[in-house]
Amino acid sequence: EAGVAQSPRYKIIEKRQSVAFWCNPISGHATLYWYQQILGQGPKLLIQFQNNGVVDDSQLPKDRFSAERLKGVDSTLKIQPAKLEDSAVYLCASSFRGAFSGGPYNEQFFGPGTRLTVL
């Protein structure tokens, strides 16, 4: 079974530029998550989709960050314009069911991440 795919793996941009990250979750997983992981910290949830609807985007800086999951499968996270403090690893994860579900189906499977450096 293929895992969560992310691209690119690395990106270096200058501040005020824009950047986009792509994620393809595990086939059949309804829930998709984007996390920001700053060096030395744990992942921080930016946005959570259930199919193509947003479940939680309370920690997404909406003035510069946007995300979509148009067909309920793959997703794109965009930053425009980037700031120095956006330098981090951006992780995508998916689960069969959402975090609201109990039982064995809310395990999150993570992609390898995209390391963003903003100069």
Partner 1 sequence: GNSVTQMEGPVTLSEEAFLTINCTYTATGYPSLFWYVQYPGEGLQLLLKATKADDKGSNKGFEATYRKETTSFHLEKGSVQVSDSAVYFCALTAAGKSTFGDGTTLTVKP
User: What is the contact surface with partner 1 in residues (CB under 8 A)?
Assistant: 3-4, 33, 35, 40-45, 48, 55-56, 91, 93, 98-100, 102-103, 106-113
Taking the complex as a whole, the smallest distance from the CB of residue 16 to partner 1 amounts, in Å, to 29
How would you classify residue 103: left for phi > 0, otherwise alpha for psi between -120 and 50, otherwise beta?
Answer: left
Taking the complex as a whole, the smallest distance from the CB of residue 100 to partner 1 amounts, in Å, to 4
CB-nearer residue toward partner 1: 50 or 82: 50
CB-nearer residue toward partner 1: 26 or 81: 26
Residues 15, 95: Cα–Cα separation, whole Å: 33
Taking the complex as a whole, the smallest distance from the CB of residue 112 to partner 1 amounts, in Å, to 5
Q: Which of 63, 49, 41, 40 is nearest to 92 (CA)?
A: 49
CB-nearer residue toward partner 1: 82 or 116: 116
CB-nearer residue toward partner 1: 18 or 59: 59
Who's near 98: CB < 8 A, 6+ residues apart? 30, 31, 48, 50, 55, 106
Residues 26, 11: Cα–Cα separation, whole Å: 23
